[in-house]
Every structure is written in structure tokens, then in C-alpha cells.
Amino acid sequence: MARNYDLILAMESEHIAQVTAIAPEVRGKTMLFGQWLEQKEIPDPYRKSQDAFEHVYGMLERASQEWAKRLSR
């Protein structure tokens, strides 16, 4: 199934490793969602404080804007 996608975005490096273990042929098109941020990995805010959720939300917002810019070129 992963072969059908042009780009696969993961939140953490471990997720990339898991995807690659299942489908090694898609490694070249699997990247971190935070690829264009200083802190490339986006942490899971589950069971964390409201501040943690807001921080992750901000990271997701910035990362999505960067991806939109780069994909629209």
C-alpha cells in the first residue's frame, strides 16, 4: 500500500524506521513532518500538559506551512 504514495510523513525517526521495516522500498519517500523545522521530530503530547499540546500544535502549524510552500514549487 505504501508504494502508492508519493510522500509519507512521520512524526519521529522511530516511525520512519518502522515504516522502512515494513516496506523498505519506500524509505526514499519517507520523511519527517518537521523536516524543515529546527527540531525535526514532533513529540507526542499524549498525557502531557496543555502547554505541551499548544507547543506541538505550533510545531505542526509551522511544519505544514513549510511543506505547503515546498510542495507548491
Query: How far is 19 from 11, CA to CA, in rounded Å?
Result: 12
Q: Which one from 5, 14, 17, 44 is the annotated catalytic residue?
A: 44
How far the first Cα of the chain sits from its last, in Å, is 27
CB atoms under 10 Å from CB of 67, counted, come to: 17
Query: Is 44 known to be catalytic?
Result: yes
Which residues does the annotation mark as catalytic? 44
